Structure 1
Amino acid sequence: MPIFEYGIDSPQLGSLLFSAAAAFLYLFMVERPPSARRTGAKTLSVALLAALSVIVGGPILLTAALLLCAAGDAFLAQDDERAFLIGLAAFLVGHILYAVLFLGLGSSEVVVAQPLRFGIGAAIVLAAMVASVRIIPAAGPMGPAVAAYIAVIVAMGLSALLIPGWGVVAGALLFMASDTVLAAQKFLLGPEDAPFLRARFVWVSYYFAQVLITLSTLQLI
């Protein structure tokens, strides 16, 4: 059942609205130092999408992936290298679950019927190769972890092409764009290179990616 067919006072729509409110609040905190309020707003944005999935009886893989991403957000909100690695691991597993979910819900017939998806898949692989050449060497000791992450998110993006409609595909592409800019920000760009715009692009594209993936997947159940 489409989310917006629920009443304004329903827990389903309430979860989505509170998620959007937390995401909007975090938009004004992206460049602030780590704090409980900042971490809470960032984490709740996606955790409430997981709550929405639970309330409407969504796939357990969707719920688990959202919860892992919310945990990853909590760790990445800290200014600490160890927390960054833990957050990276949480997102990596989350992307694996997304890929498994999309493979289970999708069909190769969708790609055969819409050849444009072949082109999108080729563009995903090409973009990942270009990004890998630049980012992995710059990551130093973290290079193997970054390489594994790139491979997994490419798998997630390609598996999204199997899902009917374009919501999940758009969400996967936004997710990949957000992660690419985040990686470039951490490993390639200097602090003076428009951090204000980068931080906001990463957050907005990431949050809309999660919303698109969540709502589009729930439409399939």
Structure 2
Amino acid sequence: MARKVLILLFLGLGIYYVFFFHTIDSSLKMVFKLLPMVLLITLAFLTKIPVKSTYYWLISIGLIFCAIGDYTLQWFIIGLCFFLTGHIFYIFAFRSANTAKTPIYAKVILLLYGAIMMFWIAGSLVQKGDIVLAIAVAAYIVVILMMGWTSFRTGSSFAIIGAMLFIASDSILAINRFMLDVAYSHELIMFTYYAAQFFLMLSIAQYFKISSKTEIKSVQ
């Protein structure tokens, strides 16, 4: 019951911040931005599974670092570093799983997409002389694509959807910040971002079920 209430609160507050952002007083905008993430972190730690696996802890810690990134993104490089750390925890979570393999089509798509984004955004920053920022953005692109790549190892549809949504959210953010104005950028960035984190939180329970079935089959 408590979990359902928290999910409803997350959905309500998330939708409010995404679509009614401009009606929120400027002094409260950060509070409303962080509340959905606080609820997701709480939901992650309250996930009822018999064994608190490595995956459970790494995803939960990743959510915490991303929440800190939400706050510190107002100082862009600092926020980027916290999000980068959050993604690294997600990568280690996905790498701790060995349930499935990343399909060839996913590898090809992610590599092509990464090359395009690297050339377009990081290359543009180099041309402008923003070398440090270009390096930071390039490192971020590599890490987030690695997160998407390794998400397939879990065999969890929620983990894969969450990772892909995160790539979409960060891509829109980067394009809007460095390349061109994206219509409804706030709505697109935050909707895909909250959805990504929500699915990653849900993947904790789903991965436990998948890994448990795998262990039973291996014993048989």
TM-score normalized by the length of structure 1: 0.82
The partner residue of 1:84 within 76, 79, 85 is 76
Kindly tell me the number of residue pairs found equivalent between the two proteins. 197
Q: Are the counterparts in 1 of residues 14 and 36 from structure 2 also a CA contact under 8 Å?
A: yes
Match of 1:171 in 2: 162
Q: Structure 1 residues 18 and 118, CA, compared in 2 at 3 Å: closer, same or farther? A: same
What RMSD, in angstroms, separates the aligned Cα atoms of the two structures?
2.0
% same residue: 30
The partner residue of 1:218 within 205, 208, 212 is 205
Distance 2:27 2:205 in 1: 31
The partner residue of 1:138 within 110, 121, 124 is 124
Distance 1:181 1:92 in 2: 16
Shift of 1:86: 1.3
1:34-183 paired onto structure 2 within 5 Å: 35-56=26-47, 59-76=56-73, 78=74, 83-107=75-99, 110-111=100-101, 117-139=103-125, 140-141=130-131, 142-183=133-174
**Residue type of the partner of 1:161?**
F
Q: Are the counterparts in 1 of residues 154 and 207 from structure 2 also a CA contact under 8 Å?
A: no
Q: Are the counterparts in 1 of residues 87 and 147 from structure 2 also a CA contact under 8 Å?
A: yes
Distance 1:60 1:98 in 2: 10
Which segments of structure 1 move beyond 6 Å, counting only runs of 4 or more? none
1:198 has 2:192 as partner: no
Q: Are the counterparts in 2 of residues 49 and 211 from structure 1 also a CA contact under 8 Å?
A: yes
Shift of 1:34: 8.2
Distance 2:71 2:25 in 1: 10
Match of 1:4 in 2: none
Distance 1:24 1:33 in 2: 13
Shift of 1:92: 0.1
Distance 1:213 1:71 in 2: 17
The partner residue of 1:24 within 6, 12, 15 is 15
Q: Are the counterparts in 2 of residues 74 and 87 from structure 1 also a CA contact under 8 Å?
A: yes
Shift of 1:185: 0.4
Q: Are the counterparts in 2 of residues 31 and 199 from structure 1 also a CA contact under 8 Å?
A: no
**Residue type of the partner of 1:64?**
I
Shift of 1:52: 0.8
Q: Are the counterparts in 2 of residues 40 and 74 from structure 1 also a CA contact under 8 Å?
A: no
Unaligned runs of 5+ in 1: 1-6
Distance 1:176 1:34 in 2: 29
SS in structure 1 at match of 2:7: helix
SS in structure 2 at match of 1:111: coil
TM-score normalized by the length of structure 2: 0.82
